[in-house]
Amino acid sequence: MYKHPYRVSNATKSIQTNITSMHRYMKDVSIAKTKTDLKKAILLVDEDEKQVYSDYIIVFKYYLGSRHDIDTSYQLFIQWKNIREEVIALIKEAKYEEAQYITKHRGYEHILLLNTQVEFLVTYANNKAKLFLAHSIQSEKEAIRITLLLIFILIVLVIIIVIILIKYINSLNTKREETLQLLYQAQAIARIGRWSYDIKADILEWSDETYSIFERNKQDKVQHGNDFFAYIHEDDLQRVKDAYSKHLLEQEFHIITHRIVTTMGVKYIEQKCKTFVDHAGQALVSHGVIQDVTESMSEKIDLNKKLVYDELTQVYNRFFFNKNINSIIKQVNPLAHLGLVMIDIDFFKKVNDNYGHDVGDHVLKEFSQLIKSSMKKKDYFIRWGGEEFILLLEIPSMPILIKVLTKIQKQIIQHDFTEVHNITCSFGAVLYQDNEDIDDTIIRADKALYKAKTNGRNRIEVL
């Protein structure tokens, strides 16, 4: 019906109360002798009038009776407002007796008529609310009866399900060994190894297929946890140990891909592991399966390399820059700056025009290797497009950045490039500013590069 069963009833009663209050304050308006008294009385009338408007909104929205009844009372209220304005106008003209007469007679009669009409709304809304509450109480009792019946049915169903589950579990136990044997056979066919590790006893067991994946004979018996760790690639060892420790702590299903070192070289394996615990939550034994995924991982690595490296020069490409620039910025030492340098090979079009694109491509590769040989491990060199490159360096200050670039510029000038022998480059260098949009940094570097070109090329400009 509505949010509260007496909401409309309370609203109509509030309308009655405030209408009566408005008329009382209108008497104060009619006898006001000063502007202050008049203003105060009008303010009180306005407050009651606003509340009447608010109550009518509720009545219009939720009243279940005739809309005509609401419209009639509301129109009477609007008409009363006209009387109100007439009285106020007379007071302002100092026609006190005429204002008081209208208030006592026409105003009073109109209020009585309005209250009578509102009383009809109050009676109807109150009766509806009582009826609604009666229905609600009855519905609540019925809901309780239905709930109790459903609970009883649910208990019966649970008992039946528990009985069925007990029988099912018993049947599973009788087939467990047979199922395990089938599983082991399937793993051998799919070249999936398995292992089991008794955590408290520190005893590790491998299946025949696991020995095969690790390219080990069963004579090279693996007995303890550390025996397994001995085969993990040194770059992955700590990650694998941390992952297994986290798995024991969280006791969730665990999947990890890592490298192992075999007699035939490096392999990628995928491990899936589940650990079982006792009633106190202490880890007892881990069971896992292992699969050789070297072929699929090699394809994935090749694909990722193609995505982030420029095919011609084998330096990073723009995709790598866009994907990693935010993390590169975060890795910069707080006491240092990230230098961003745009480098453009001067008059490279002439190289292609005079020597051909094959020579031009060779120059780009030779140029890229020359720059990489001058970089530190934490620096990044990106082919931005064509003969334009970006160099990212962690640098203490702009003077030091200029010093580094001057050294690179000198190496380029002195290098004997195949066929073309000599090339020069223009440099536009900036320092990344905290919280700066990287696009704005690039724009500044590009402006510096443009300045280097317009000032004669083969020079370093900073902004």
User: Are the CB atoms for 22 and 59 separated by under 8 Å?
Assistant: no
Above pLDDT 90, what percent of the chain?
33
**How far from 435 is each of 330, 395, 396, 438, 440, CA to CA, in Å?**
11, 18, 18, 9, 11
The Cα 38–Cα 94 span in angstroms is 11
Phi-psi region of 361 (alpha: psi -120 to 50; beta: other; left: phi over 0): alpha
pLDDT at 443 over 50: yes
The Cα 409–Cα 424 span in angstroms is 8
What does the pLDDT look like over 368-392, one tens digit per residue? 999 999 999 899 999 999 999 999 9
Q: Write the DSSP assignment of 67-135 as a string of letters.
A: HHHHHHHHHHHHHHHHHHHHHHHHHHTT-HHHHHHHIIIIIHHHHHHHHHHHHHHHHHHHHHHHHHHHH
61, two tokens? 């929205």
pLDDT at 182 over 60: no
309, two tokens? 């490296």
Q: Which amino acid is at 298?
A: S
Least trusted range by pLDDT, from 141-145, 295-299, 316-320: 295-299
Phi-psi region of 56 (alpha: psi -120 to 50; beta: other; left: phi over 0): alpha
Q: Which amino acid is at 457?
A: R
Helix (H, G, I), strand (E, B) or coil at 371: helix
The Cα 346–Cα 434 span in angstroms is 31
What per-residue string of b and e applies to 209-227 under the rule 16 or more CB within 10 Å gives b? bbbbbbebeeeeebeebee
What backbone torsions phi and psi does residue 268 show, to the nearest 5 degrees?
Answer: -105, 130
What does the pLDDT look like over 240-262, one tens digit per residue? 888 888 888 887 777 888 888 88
User: Are the CB atoms for 428 and 446 separated by under 8 Å?
Assistant: yes
Residue range 414-420: mean pLDDT, rounded: 93
What does the pLDDT look like over 337-358, one tens digit per residue? 999 999 999 999 999 999 999 9
Mean residue pLDDT across the chain:
86
- Confidence band of 1 (pLDDT split at 50, 70, 90): very low
**pLDDT score of 176:** 64
Residue range 200-205: mean pLDDT, rounded: 86
Q: Write the DSSP assignment of 168-236 as a string of letters.
A: HHHHHHHHHHHHHHHHHHHHHHTTEEEEEEETTTTEEEE-HHHHHHTT--TTS---SHHHHHTTB-TTT
- Confidence band of 186 (pLDDT split at 50, 70, 90): low
Higher-confidence residue of 148 and 404: namely 404
103, two tokens? 């208030």
The Cα 221–Cα 231 span in angstroms is 13
pLDDT at 422 over 50: yes
- Confidence band of 147 (pLDDT split at 50, 70, 90): confident
**pLDDT score of 19:** 85
Q: Kindly give, in sequence order, each residue whose CB lies less than 8 Å from that of residue 37, ignoring residues fewer than 6 positions away.
A: 28
* Domains of the chain (ranges, CATH numbers): 7-142 (1.20.120), 190-300 (3.30.450.20), 309-462 (3.30.70.270)
The Cα 408–Cα 341 span in angstroms is 12
pLDDT at 68 over 80: yes
What does the pLDDT look like over 106-126, one tens digit per residue? 888 888 888 888 887 888 877
Residue range 405-412: mean pLDDT, rounded: 96
Least trusted range by pLDDT, from 13-22, 53-62, 92-101, 294-303: 294-303
The Cα 13–Cα 4 span in angstroms is 15
Q: Which amino acid is at 47?
A: E
300, two tokens? 């994935």
Least trusted range by pLDDT, from 165-174, 271-280, 382-391, 407-416: 165-174
pLDDT at 4 over 60: no
Residue range 182-193: mean pLDDT, rounded: 63
The sheet carrying 337-345 orders its strands as: 380-385, 388-395, 337-345, 425-431, 460-462
User: Are the CB atoms for 257 and 232 separated by under 8 Å?
Assistant: no
Most confident of 39-53, 82-96, 353-367: 353-367
The Cα 84–Cα 369 span in angstroms is 92
Q: Kindly give, in sequence order, each residue whose CB lies less than 8 Å from that of residue 448, ignoring residues fewer than 6 positions away.
A: 342, 427, 428, 429, 430, 461, 462, 463
The Cα 337–Cα 335 span in angstroms is 7
Least trusted range by pLDDT, from 91-95, 109-113, 188-192, 197-201: 188-192
Q: Write the DSSP assignment of 400-449 as a string of letters.
A: HHHHHHHHHHHHHHH--BTTTB---EEEEEEEPPTT--HHHHHHHHHHHH
Residue range 64-84: mean pLDDT, rounded: 84
**pLDDT score of 334:** 92
Give the global pTM. Answer: 0.44
Residue range 381-407: mean pLDDT, rounded: 96
**pLDDT score of 2:** 44
Q: Kindly give, in sequence order, each residue whose CB lies less than 8 Å from that of residue 245, ignoring residues fewer than 6 positions away.
A: none
**pLDDT score of 184:** 58
Residue range 12-25: mean pLDDT, rounded: 85
Looking up tokens 């519905």, which residue turns up? 139
Least trusted range by pLDDT, from 31-45, 206-220, 416-430: 206-220
197, two tokens? 């590790």
Most confident of 149-163, 175-189, 407-421: 407-421
Least trusted range by pLDDT, from 132-146, 178-192, 309-323: 178-192
Above pLDDT 70, what percent of the chain?
92
The Cα 407–Cα 46 span in angstroms is 82
273, two tokens? 């592991």
The Cα 97–Cα 31 span in angstroms is 9
- Confidence band of 307 (pLDDT split at 50, 70, 90): confident
Residue range 150-163: mean pLDDT, rounded: 90
Q: Which amino acid is at 23?
A: H
The Cα 463–Cα 457 span in angstroms is 16
Q: Kindly give, in sequence order, each residue whose CB lies less than 8 Å from that of residue 293, ignoring residues fewer than 6 positions away.
A: 257, 268, 269, 270
pLDDT at 230 over 50: yes
